[in-house]
Amino acid sequence: MARNRGCIVALVVLICACACWDMFAGPKADQTTTQSGGAVSNDSYMGLSGEELWSNNCLRCHNIRPPTMYSDAQWEVIVHHMRLRANITGQEQRAIVEFLKSAK
Amino acid sequence: MKIHRCYPAAIVQAVILTIVSARAQDTTTDGYVTRKEYDELKAELLAMKKELDALKKTGGPKQESSEGRALASTAPKQEEPASQTAGDLHKEVASALSRPVAESIGSLLGTTKFLLAGWAEGMFEARNGQVSTFSASFNPIFLWELTPKLLFDSRLEIEPSGGGTNVNLVNAQLSYLLNDYMALGVGEFFSPSNVFVERFEPQWINKLPDRPIGVYHGILPNISVGAQVRGGFPIGPTRADYAFYVSNGPVLNTFDARTAGTLDFNSYTDNNDNKAVGGRVGFLPIPGVEVGYGFETSKPGFQGTTFHDVQALVQSVDLEVTRDSDLLRGRINLFAQYAWSHVDHAVYDPDGSLGFGPLAFTSKQDGGYAELAYRPTKADIDFVRNVELVFRWDHLSRDPSGLGDPWETRWTLGLNYWLSPSTVLKAAYEWDQPSGEPNRNALFIQTAMGF
């Protein structure tokens, strides 16, 4: 009984999320900002730039921290660690690191 | 300091080499230097001084390899059409200069990268039926990148307890990147089958002061000791990720009437030769959305007992949605996870020696949570932008086992204020109703900082 109740709740949440997706649509990435981010990963997820990959992947779990918060060497270690945790690809890792270094 | 000592030495060496070079030319110019030769050498010397000044200002390149490359690459460019003698002289100076500078920098920085990260929290909790209390914890994360492919990461949990301090090793793992799509890990790691502990458990990330029952210290494992392989890969315009592992696995509780048939995931040493196998696969159809399925199968019974062949299976489905909305002028996070477990039919306390048997049943549990958060990140007022509203439902239940049907459901409403991207002040009220017991409603106030 409890399991059924939980499944129903989960299903309702999923359906609501899908139904409201377009209504809650966010803005398209600003082209100028994207280009200034540089570091476009050619074969990365959906061809996103380093800035977009950084934003999309980090925001999935937590607030993003400004690129100036850590040194280049520290970002390399952090993104290496986060690659393992969030299962991003090597290309995405490199594009994100390149963006973080260039954004200071 | 060592670096700066090298510059005077290099200048002196350059002057000496200049004089030696001039004397060498004496043999071919009747003991005199022409005005043209003198001007050329003077110009070279001035150019080298400028280079040294520039190096002093920049503090030199950051790494040994880049130092060598920088000098090697800039030297010919700045040489222009100087004489062969001057070019040789410059190369000698550059070579003599690069070695000690590079060696000095290398000895200072080394080739590995170390970072101390982590988070800390302080909390006040007033729960119905319990004494109110303050608590605090410090959770350092040690990240050591030995090479660009090799990373060691470990987290400690340090917290006051009673008259002392508890120090727990939360995880310690060595990881190696095999290629762009696969990494190996060995050690003690956050269980990939439980997405909550892998991604949302740190208190500066978790949006409410406490963690959801059911998925945290409930049905699913939090920590596993073993080996794992994981990674992600694109599928056309979408992406998938995976993580699979083998580990010591849980222990089947058999000695206590209230816990018989449940799995103890906090016993990190194995109790038999069977290893647990688990993992999670995730799919990201569009940026900001991920759905996943996790599982772990094991034989949790003690070796040599009647429970050694009992099979256990835990499974989980999860959904994570993050969306910036113009309509709502802010960001929405929706996190949901539901887990269920099944332990084969077994007879607990078969001879009645423990005082509650014989008790035969198939153990089943289920539980999960759904959490919705909204933060008006597009509001015009700074204060409003930093406020976040959070609502969570979480639940844990256990199927009839002869000992009743205990379940617990909680509804929690939270209000957060973000002092920085990784520092948050949380206040929350939780309506907590266990079955057959008085409510355990609670008030929380917590601050957490990630670093």
Strand, coil or helix: what is B140? strand
CATH number for the domain that contains residue B426: 2.40.160.40
The residues, any chain, with a CB within 8 Å of residue B396's CB and separated by 6 or more, are B213, B214, B218, B219, B365, B366, B367, B407, B408
Q: What is the pLDDT of residue B69?
A: 40
Closest by Cα among B50, B42, B33 to B89: B42
Residue A94 lies in a domain: yes
Using the beta-carbon criterion (under 8 Å), do A60 and B282 form an inter-chain contact? no
With a cut of 90, say whether residue B80 has pLDDT above it.
no
With a cut of 50, say whether residue B332 has pLDDT above it.
yes
B105 and B131 in a common domain:
no
Q: What is the pLDDT of residue B333?
A: 96
Residues on chain A touching B334 (C-beta within 8 angstroms): 13, 17
pLDDT in tens, A48-77: 899 999 999 999 999 999 999 999 999 999
B213 and B71 in a common domain:
no
With a cut of 90, say whether residue B187 has pLDDT above it.
yes
pLDDT in tens, B192-227: 999 999 999 999 999 999 999 989 877 999 999 999
- Please tell me if residue B328 touches chain A, with a CB cutoff of 8 Å: yes
Q: Last residue of some domain: B56, B74, B109?
A: B109
Nearest chain A alpha carbon to B341: A3
Give B217→chain A minimum CA distance, Å. 18
Q: What is the pLDDT of residue B271?
A: 86
Q: What is the pLDDT of residue B37?
A: 80
B69 and B217 in a common domain:
no
pLDDT in tens, B146-165: 999 999 999 999 999 988 99
With a cut of 90, say whether residue B415 has pLDDT above it.
yes
B86 and B212 in a common domain:
no
Beta-strand relationship, B251-252 and B238-247: unpaired
How many structural domains comprise chain A? 1
Nearest chain B alpha carbon to A48: B287
Residues on chain B touching A89 (C-beta within 8 angstroms): 180-181, 231-234
Asked whether the beta carbons of B335 and B371 are under 8 A apart, the reply is yes
Residue A6 lies in a domain: no
B271 and B129 in a common domain:
yes
Q: What is the pLDDT of residue B64?
A: 40
Query: Residue range B385-402: average pLDDT?
Result: 87
CA distance B315 to B341: 6
Query: Residue range B398-420: average pLDDT?
Result: 83
CA distance B449 to B270: 35
Query: Given pLDDT bands bounded at 50, 70 and 90, which one contains residue B35?
Result: confident
Closest by Cα among B253, B252, B250 to B268: B250
| From B145, B340, B407, residue closest to A77, measured CB to CB | B145
Using the beta-carbon criterion (under 8 Å), do A45 and B287 form an inter-chain contact? yes
B207 and B70 in a common domain:
no
Nearest chain B alpha carbon to A7: B338
Domain that holds residue B42: 2-109
- Please tell me if residue A97 touches chain B, with a CB cutoff of 8 Å: no
With a cut of 50, say whether residue A45 has pLDDT above it.
yes
B340 and B317 in a common domain:
yes
Those of residues 370-399 in B touching chain A at CB distance below 8 A are 370, 393, 395, 397
B368 and B332 in a common domain:
yes
| From B115, B243, B332, residue closest to A77, measured CB to CB | B115
Which range, B102-111, B171-180, B262-271, B300-309, has the best average confidence (pLDDT)?
A: B171-180
Residue A20 lies in a domain: no
B252 and B400 in a common domain:
yes
- Please tell me if residue B66 touches chain A, with a CB cutoff of 8 Å: no
Closest by Cα among B375, B110, B153, B422 to A69: B422
Residue B40 lies in a domain: yes
Residues comprising chain A, all counted: 104
Query: Given pLDDT bands bounded at 50, 70 and 90, which one contains residue B79?
Result: very low
How many structural domains comprise chain B? 2
Residue B143 lies in a domain: no
Residues on chain B touching A45 (C-beta within 8 angstroms): 234, 238-239, 284, 287
Residue B178 lies in a domain: no
With a cut of 90, say whether residue B444 has pLDDT above it.
yes
Nearest chain B alpha carbon to A52: B287
Query: Given pLDDT bands bounded at 50, 70 and 90, which one contains residue B419?
Result: very high
Using the beta-carbon criterion (under 8 Å), do B366 and A6 form an inter-chain contact? yes
For residue B73, the 8-state DSSP code is H
Nearest chain A alpha carbon to B317: A10
B441 and B423 in a common domain:
yes
pLDDT in tens, B224-246: 999 999 999 999 889 999 999 99
**Average pLDDT score, chain B:** 84
Query: Residue range B63-88: average pLDDT?
Result: 42
pLDDT in tens, B347-381: 999 999 998 879 888 989 999 999 999 999 999 99
Give B144→chain A minimum CA distance, Å. 8
Q: What is the pLDDT of residue B416?
A: 98
Dihedrals φ, ψ of B51, to 5°? -60, -40
Residue B175 lies in a domain: no
Q: What pTM, to 2 d.p., does this model score?
A: 0.74
The residue with greater pLDDT, A80 or B23, is: A80
- Give kind and range of the element (H or E) at residue B70: helix B64-79
B367 and B278 in a common domain:
yes
Which segments of B148-288 are extended strands (E)? 150-161, 164-179, 182-190, 223-235, 238-247, 251-252, 263-264, 276-284
pLDDT in tens, B294-329: 999 999 999 889 899 999 999 999 999 999 999 999
Q: What is the pLDDT of residue B405?
A: 63
- Tell me if the bond preceding A27 is cis, omega within 30° of 0: no
Using the beta-carbon criterion (under 8 Å), do A90 and B181 form an inter-chain contact? yes
Q: What is the pLDDT of residue B414?
A: 98
B128 and B27 in a common domain:
no
Domain that holds residue A83: 27-102
Which of the residues A54, A63, A69 would you substitute to probe the B interface, choosing the one with the greatest number of B C-beta atoms within 10 Å? A63
